Amino acid sequence: MIPLSESIKYAVAPLKVSANDKNQSIELALNSEGYYFHDKKWIAEGLSNIIKNAIEHTNIDGEIKIILEETPMSISITIGDNGEGIDECELKNIFKRFYKGKNSINPKSIGIGLSLSKKIIEAHGGSINVKSELEKGTIFNIIFLKVIV
């Protein structure tokens, strides 16, 4: 079984170039292996949509931090940025298919990235949540339970 830490590294590798272009750092704090039955390519697709958004919506010199943590019950992946943030009234919509925020990047934005990420994570038994503050940054948290409840 491939640990989630491997899939995170696999997702981040091709995005380092665009982060470097903006002089942004992507810090990985992989505090455990995160053994969890999953499809590496699909999970990497789901993670990379979130990381791409973080790069797009964070300024030059910004910081993106990815943390993998594990408890006996669950594995948590946190993807945080110190970018422009998302307006509170938009937060409930960002996982909807074709929803593009006020800050969306034209003409690149289609609005399917996060809806696909959520689908992939839920198809693997996980859940995803977001917290954000304008001009402070955004944190996405993904939880996979290791036990069936």
Residues contributing to the site for Mg ion (CB under 5 A): 53, 113
101 contacts ligand ADP (rule: CB under 6 A): yes
Q: Report the residue number, 70 or 121, with the smaller CB distance to ligand ADP.
A: 121
Judged by CB under 6 A, does residue 5 bind ligand ADP? no
Structure tokens given for 44: 């990497």
Query: Where does this chain touch ligand ADP (CB under 6 A) — which range of 12-20, 23-31, 67-75, 94-102?
Result: 94-102
Contacting ligand ADP within 9-68 (CB under 6 A): 49, 53-54, 57
Q: Is 56 helix (H, G, I), strand (E, B) or coil?
A: helix
Residue nearest to ligand ADP (CB): 101
Q: Which amino acid is at 141?
A: N
Q: Specify the residue, 78 or 104, whose C-beta has the smaller distance to ligand ADP.
A: 104
How far is Cα 32 from Cα 146, in angstroms, rounded to an integer?
A: 14
Out of 12, 75, 86, 120, name the contact with ligand ADP by CB under 6 A.
86
CB contact set of 55 (below 8 Å; sequence gap of 6+): 15, 18, 19, 22, 24, 64
Quick one: how far is CA 137 from the chain centroid? 13
- Number of Cβ atoms within 10 Å of the Cβ of 127: 12
Judged by beta carbon, residue 73 or residue 88, the one nearer ligand ADP is: 88
**What is the torsion angle, in degrees rounded to the nearest 10, for the CA atoms of residue 124, residue 19, residue 33 and residue 69?**
-80
Q: Which residues bind ligand ADP (CB under 6 A)?
A: 49, 53-54, 57, 81, 83-86, 94, 99-101, 103-104, 109-115, 138
